[in-house]
């Protein structure tokens, strides 16, 4: 391939992901996913290259999640073997990707290609520091230490701090991935004996309301969409403000009179309800409680490490109606709470039967 036609590492990764094809339960990605190749010519700035490297780390993490979801089928022994194979392959690909990243940074900084092996393998941190600082690498024969000026020392210090920040970002990304995997596994183990599974909901700030909308659709056409559910929750909260204001009202500054506190609490409560009704503000337990009463339906919230939280238990089918009878009503609504699902924070998914009412096995869907 000619020099002016060599793709960047990001192009190679994108193409290799496309070439990977359909992944089975025990599949691992092609070894070409993150090959340690050093392009002869890069058309990127330093900032663009570092941004691409971060993006490629996220892409590999996302691929790992998809593969492990696909492997969560079959016997326990098959799932364990598939997870082990995936972990080994991801570790190998991660090491190759880091080596390629270091080598690309060396090329960017102007070293000769015959110097790349040692630097890329053993001196990745130095490469990253120099890349952030915009300082080129000297040829091996002339790397004797020289006295640095004050400006050079300042730039080197700033570069080291920025490089350490880059490393912390990548470590945090790996930590989030690990926490998410653990949380998903615990939740799946809790739901499997109950013959339930998860349906993933779009993480756009409306996830709680979209999850409830999805639950309503499991047993027939839903009466409300997610924005209708927002309006319904806000309306119920306004009609029963005494039940919600203590959790939302203004605290005051210590010098406020009782009348001032009441006015501040009213103003804050109205603003809160307006946000529930017409924005993408995240919802939580208050809004779920309001929806349970407004819909007159029992809602169950599953999570990885907490007992099931139930709201509107008086509406549960089979509960006593207070007159010696047994309540017969709509089925319970089930959602899942995820603390580590996405980098932005908390998230809700829909909990559905592993086998739908039509008898068909359900699959994950967005």
Tokens found for residue 354: 């592993």
- Catalytic residue, chosen from 206, 293, 338, 347, is 347
Contact 183, 340 (CB under 8 A): yes
Q: Is 347 an active-site residue?
A: yes
Structure confidence at residue 115 (pLDDT)? 43
Instruction: Pick 303 or 70 by higher pLDDT.
Output: 303
> Which of these, 229, 108, 188, lies nearest to 354 by C-alpha position?
188
The one catalytic residue in 206, 207, 298, 340 is 207
Q: Which helix (H) or strand (E) holds 19?
A: helix 9-19
pLDDT mean over 270-296: 95
Identified catalytic residue from 204, 260, 274, 321: 204
**What does the mean pLDDT of the chain come to?**
75
Task: Look at the alpha carbons of 199, 202, 208, 214 in this order and tell me if their dihedral is positive or negative.
Answer: negative
pTM of the model: 0.51
- pLDDT tens for 16-74 read 433 433 333 334 444 333 344 444 444 788 778 888 888 888 888 888 888 887 877 77
Q: Which residues pair with 196 in a beta bridge?
A: 353
Q: What is the pLDDT of residues 156-186, one digit of tens each?
A: 787 778 777 777 776 666 655 577 788 888 8
Assigned token pair, 263: 């006015």
Please report the pLDDT score of residue 348 as a whole number: 95
Residue 343 to residue 363: CA distance in whole angstroms:
24
Question: Has 36 been annotated as catalytic?
Answer: no
Segment 219-224 mean pLDDT: 88
CATH 3.90.70.80 intervals, the chain: 195-353
Fold of 195-353: Cathepsin B; Chain A (3.90.70)
């Amino acid at each position: 391939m000619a020099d002016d036609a060599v793709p960047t590492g990001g192009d190679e990764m994108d193409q290799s992901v496309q070439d990977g094809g359909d992944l089975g339960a025990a599949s691992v990605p092609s070894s070409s996913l993150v090959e340690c190749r050093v392009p002869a010519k890069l058309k990127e700035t330093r900032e663009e290259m570092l941004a691409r490297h971060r993006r490629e780390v996220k892409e590999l993490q996302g691929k790992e999640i998809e593969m492990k979801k696909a492997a969560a089928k079959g016997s326990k022994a098959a799932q364990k073997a598939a997870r082990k194979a995936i972990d080994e392959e991801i570790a190998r690909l991660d090491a190759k990707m880091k080596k390629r990243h270091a080598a690309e940074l060396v090329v960017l900084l102007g070293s000769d290609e015959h110097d790349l092996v040692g630097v890329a393998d053993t001196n990745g941190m130095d490469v990253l520091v120099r890349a952030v600082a915009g300082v080129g690498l000297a040829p091996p024969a002339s790397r004797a230490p020289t006295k640095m000026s004050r400006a050079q020392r300042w730039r080197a210090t700033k570069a080291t701090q920025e490089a350490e920040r880059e490393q912390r970002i990548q470590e945090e990304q790996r930590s989030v991935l690990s926490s998410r995997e653990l949380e998903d596994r615990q939740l799946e183990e809790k739901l499997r004996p109950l013959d339930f599974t998860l349906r993933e909901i779009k993480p756009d700030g409306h996830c709680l309301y979209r999850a409830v909308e999805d639950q309503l659709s499991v047993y027939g056409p839903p009466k409300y969409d997610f924005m209708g559910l927002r309006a319904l929750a806000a309306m119920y909260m306004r009609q029963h403000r005494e039940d919600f204001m203590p959790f939302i009202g203004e605290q005051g500054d210590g010098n406020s009179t009782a009348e001032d506190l009441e006015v501040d609490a009213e103003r804050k409560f109205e603003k809160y309800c307006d946000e529930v009704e017409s924005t993408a503000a995240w919802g939580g337990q208050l809004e779920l409680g309001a929806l349970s009463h407004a819909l007159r339906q029992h809602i169950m919230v599953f999570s990885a490490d907490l007992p099931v939280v139930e709201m509107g238990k008086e509406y549960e089918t089979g509960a006593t109606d207070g007159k010696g009878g047994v309540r017969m009503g709509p089925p319970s609504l089930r959602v899942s709470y995820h603390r580590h699902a996405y980098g932005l924070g908390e998230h809700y998914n829909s909990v559905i039967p592993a086998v739908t009412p039509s008898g068909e096995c359900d699959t994950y869907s967005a």
